[in-house]
Structure 1
Amino acid sequence: MIDATANPDQLAERIRELGQELGFQQVGISAAHIGEHEERLNDWLDAGYQGEMQWMESHGSKRTRPAELVPGTCRVISVRMDYLPADTAMAKRLKQSEHAYISRYALGRDYHKLMRRRLQQLAERIQSLIGPFGYRAFVDSAPVMERALATRAGLGWIGKNTMLINPRAGSYFFLGELFTDLPLPVDAPQEKEHCGSCTACLETCPTGAFVDAHVLDARRCISYLTIELKGAIPPELRPLMGNRVFGCDDCQMVCPWNKFAKPTGETDFSPRHQLDQATLTSLFLWDEDTFLRNTEGSPIRRIGHERWLRNLAVGLGNATTSIPVIEALRARAEHSSEMVREHVQWALQRHGEAP
C-alpha cells in the first residue's frame, strides 16, 4: 500500500505507470481549474459560434470549474489514447469523389466505452494501492473542458485549429479524465503553443470555418454540419463539403506536427465494414436495418439513418456525374423524410437532372 499523503510523488508516478499499462499513451495531472480558458469559452458562446450545440451553454460554470461539477475535486488526471488507424489511405479518398470520406476517429468502434472502461480500471488499481478515494471518470460525456485541462496537465497545447497538439504525437488522439480528491503533485502545463507562423490549418478548411487562429465557427465546420446539425445543411456550404460524410480531418492532415503521429495498436480503432474503402453509392443503399447493424458500437450511429442519408446525398451531389450516382439518388427521391428528399433533389440538380 502507498500512503497517498506521505508519498504523493510516488503515487503520481505509479499512476502514470498504471495508465500506460492500460493502454494510455500519456497521463498528466493538473489542478482543478482551467485558468483563462473560462473567459475564452464565454466569449465564444457570446459570439454564437456553438450553433445548435446548446449543451455547450448548459450547466453554467460547472463546465469550467471541476469542483462545482464534482464536489471535492482538487486534481484532474488527464489521459491520452492515440487512435490513428494504420494504412487507411484516407487522405487519398478526398480526391476520389465517388468514395465516402469518414473521419479517421470514426472508422472503428466507439471510443467512449473503451476509454471509460480503462479509466475505471485505472481507478480500481489506484484503490488497490491506497484504499478508497473519491473519483469520477469522464470521456467526452459531461460538461468537461478536456482540452483545457489537458494543457494544464502537460499533454499538449491548443493549436490554431483548436485541437490539442502533442509535440511527440500530433493530434490524432482521444482524451479522458478522472476527477479526484487526491492531493497529487501537478505536472507542468504546456499552454504555450508551438505553431509558430504556420497557418496551414486555417487556410485548408474547406468551408472557411476558422474566424481567426484558435476561433472556430462551428456553424461552418463540416464535423458540426455532418454530426451535430439536426436539420438541413445550408445550401451554400454543401458544394464545399466534397465527399466528407461524417466529420472532417483536413485541419489535422495538414498540421506539420502530425508527422509524429503513430498508428494505434488498439484493434478496436481499426476500420470496420471497410468504411475506409466504401463508395458513396454503396453506403447510400443501406436501409435503416443495415445502417443500425453496420454501425453497432460505432460513433456513426448517433446521427441516425436520416442524417446519414442527408450527408451522403450531399456527397453524391458533389461526386463526378455517373450512371451509378444518378441511379442511387433517384432511388431515394421519394424517401419518406422531407429532409432526405430535399438533399436528394439538390444533388440531382447538381448533375443536371430534374428532381
Structure 2
Amino acid sequence: MSAPRQSLSKAERLKAFLVEEARSAGFDVARVVSPEAIAGKAPAALDAYLKHGRHGTMQWLQETKDRRSDPRTLWPEVGSILMLGMNYGPEHNPLDVLAQKDRAAISVYAQNRDYHDLIKGRLKGIAGRFAARSGGDVKVFVDTAPVMEKPLAEQAGIGWQGKHSNLVSREFGSWLFLGSIFTTEKLPADRPGTDSCGSCRACLDICPTNAFPAPYQLDARRCISYLTIEHKGPIPVEFRPAMGNRIYGCDDCLAVCPWNKFASDAREAKLRARDDLKAPALADLVKLDDAAFRAMFSGSPIKRTGRNRFLRNVLIACGNSADPALIDPCRNCLSDDSAEVRGAAVWALSRLLGHEDFLRLKDNATEEPDDTVRHEWHMAVGKQ
C-alpha cells in the first residue's frame, strides 16, 4: 500500500497559485528566486562594466548601481522574487531585411506596441490577486527599474546569460521579455539555469561593430542597439557604414542563436509585428515631420527616442543604401530645424552623390550655424 501523499505547505500553495496566475495572464514561464541569489557575481560584473565605461552615456546605471546590485537594497522587505518571461519570437527571420537596402530594419521587440505597457499591466493584475490571496505586500518591475533582471532570471532557472549577455532559454531561445514581481512572502526557490552555449560563437562573430570584447561581455558604446536608441548627438563615423539599414536596435546576435530553433512551437504570447514596421521604406521614413512621427509611432517604444534621433538613424541608412531615389529627400533634410538631422543628412549625401554634385552643396556649409554640423561638412568635403 503506497504512502499517503504529503500535502503542500502554505508557501508551496502560494507559489503554485502565483505561477498559475502568471501562465493564465499569458506569460510562458514563471519561476521563483531568492533576493540574495545574485549576490557576488552579478554586482562584480556590473562594477567591471561601469569601471571600463562600457555603459557609454547611460549614466543611470552608475547612479543606481547599489540598488541594482542587491534587490534587498531596492526593497528591504522583499522575501522572494517571481521572474516571468514572455516569448516574442518573430514569425520571420529578422536578418532577411538587412539585404533590402532601401528598407529599414527595426528590432523585433519594437515592431508593435511598447512591451513595457503590455507586461506591466499584466504584472499588476497578477500581483494584486496574489496579494489578496497571501496577505503579503508586492511590487512589480519591468526593465526601466533598477533590477538586474537577466541575472535574476538565470538564478530562477528561466535560462542563462549567453555570450551576447542576453538571456537564452532552451524553450524560447533569445526571445523573452522579462518582468518581476517582488513579494514579502518567502516562497520555495527554483534551481538556477545552466549555461548551454558550449563552444558556439555565432552571436559574437555576427556583430557588425565588434561590440563584444570577450564572450559574456558587451561594450554598449559599440553596440548598434545603444547607438540607435540611447546615444544622443552624432553617431561616431566609424560605426555608420556597419549600421547598414538598422534604424532602431539590432537583432543580429539574438537572431543567430541556435537555441531559437526550439522556440517555434510556443508563440501564443508574442507580439505580432505591425505590417508597416516589418520593413518600412526609407523613402517614407525620411520625410516624417514631428507630427507624422508621433502619429506613426504612437504607443511604440520608438516614440521615446524622438523624431530627430530617429531621423538621424534613417539618414545613416539612406547613406548606406546606394539608392539615388533617396537623394532628394536627404537634400531636403539639409534645411531641417534639427542640427542632429542636418548633420546626418550631410553624411548621407556625401555617400549618395558623386564628387562634383556633392561639392555643389558646399554653400550650405557656410550658412550652417551649428558647430557639429559644420564639422560634418568639413569631414565630408575632406573625403570627397
Q: Shorter-chain-normalised TM-score: which range? A: over 0.9
For the residues of structure 2 that align with 1:214 and 1:186, how far apart are their CA atoms? 25
Q: 2:131, 2:138 within 8 Å by CA — same for their partners in 1?
A: no
Residues 204-255 of structure 1 show CA distances to partners (whole Å, capped at 9, x for unaligned) of 1001101000111000000000000011100111001000000000001111
Bigger radius of gyration among the two: 2
For the residues of structure 1 that align with 2:316 and 2:226, how far apart are their CA atoms? 15
Query: Which residue identity lines up with residue 64 of structure 2 in the other structure?
Result: H
Query: Which residue identity lines up with residue 100 of structure 2 in the other structure?
Result: Q
Asked whether 1:114 is paired with 2:118, we answer: yes
Corresponding residue number in structure 2 for 1:342: 343
Q: Structure 1, unaligned stretches of length 5 or more?
A: none
Provide the aligned length of Structure 1 versus Structure 2: 346
Corresponding residue number in structure 2 for 1:216: 218
Residues 181-215 of structure 1 show CA distances to partners (whole Å, capped at 9, x for unaligned) of 1110000011x311111101111100110100011
Q: Structure 2, unaligned stretches of length 5 or more?
A: 1-7, 362-384
Corresponding residue number in structure 2 for 1:81: 86
| Alignment counterpart, residue 252 of structure 2, candidates 250, 253, 257 | 250
| Alignment counterpart, residue 125 of structure 1, candidates 129, 133, 140 | 129
Identity fraction in percent: 40
Residues 234-283 of structure 1 show CA distances to partners (whole Å, capped at 9, x for unaligned) of 0111001000000000001111011122363347x222361103111111
Asked whether 1:61 is paired with 2:66, we answer: yes
Over 3 Å counting, the alpha-carbon distance change for 1:266 and 1:156 in structure 2 is: closer
- Quick check: which one's helix share is greater? 2
Corresponding residue number in structure 1 for 2:353: 352
Residues 97-125 of structure 1 show CA distances to partners (whole Å, capped at 9, x for unaligned) of 11100000000000111111111111122
Q: 2:106, 2:279 within 8 Å by CA — same for their partners in 1?
A: no
Asked whether 1:40 is paired with 2:53, we answer: no
For the residues of structure 1 that align with 2:179 and 2:65, how far apart are their CA atoms? 21
**How far 1:167 moved relative to its partner?**
0.6
Q: TM-score, normalised on structure 2?
A: 0.87
Corresponding residue number in structure 2 for 1:205: 207
Q: 2:141, 2:180 within 8 Å by CA — same for their partners in 1?
A: yes
| Alignment counterpart, residue 172 of structure 1, candidates 175, 187, 212 | 175
| Alignment counterpart, residue 153 of structure 2, candidates 147, 150, 173 | 150
Q: TM-score, normalised on structure 1?
A: 0.94
For the residues of structure 2 that align with 1:284 and 1:271, how far apart are their CA atoms? 21
Other structure's SS at 2:180 match: strand
RMSD: 1.5
Query: Which residue identity lines up with residue 75 of structure 2 in the other structure?
Result: V
For the residues of structure 1 that align with 2:262 and 2:304, how far apart are their CA atoms? 31
**How far 1:133 moved relative to its partner?**
1.3
Corresponding residue number in structure 1 for 2:307: 305
